[in-house]
């Protein structure tokens, strides 16, 4: 009996960029949920609905930047955009 040379190795067939896409979607979803809860808890914003969207997206952007620059960049020491070619 011989060994099959056509074996499937998931690490070599799974594209590495999809992990970045999955991480980005998770960070955006969590930041939107968190921003929604924060925006709803501030009483002054409830009275001014015209600025509520700006505050909401500002908090989303702030959480996104904190994750990618602060936590991922300095604490986890991972490159944000790293070429694996």
**pLDDT reported for residue 68:** 85
Residue 53 lies in a domain: yes
Residue 4 lies in a domain: no
Q: How many domains does the chain have?
A: 1
- The angle formed by the CA atoms of residues 57, 59 and 61, to the nearest 5 degrees, is 70
The per-residue pLDDT string of the chain (85 residues; one tens digit each, 9 = 90 and over) reads: 566 677 666 666 667 778 788 889 999 999 999 999 999 888 888 788 889 999 999 999 999 999 888 888 777 777 666 655 4
Q: Which domain holds residue 48?
A: 16-75
Helix (H), strand (E) at residue 5: none
Residue whose pair of structure tokens reads 């969590």 in the numeric block: 30
* Alpha-carbon torsion (19, 17, 70, 51), positive or negative: negative
């Amino acid at each position: 009996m011989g060994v099959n040379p056509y074996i499937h190795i998931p690490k070599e067939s799974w594209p590495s960029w999809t992990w970045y896409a999955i991480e980005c979607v998770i960070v955006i979803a969590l930041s939107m949920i968190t921003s929604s809860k924060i925006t709803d808890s501030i009483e002054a914003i409830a009275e001014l609905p015209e600025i509520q969207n700006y505050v909401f997206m500002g908090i989303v952007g702030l959480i996104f930047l904190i994750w990618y620059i602060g936590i991922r960049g300095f604490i986890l020491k991972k490159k944000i955009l790293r070429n694996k070619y």
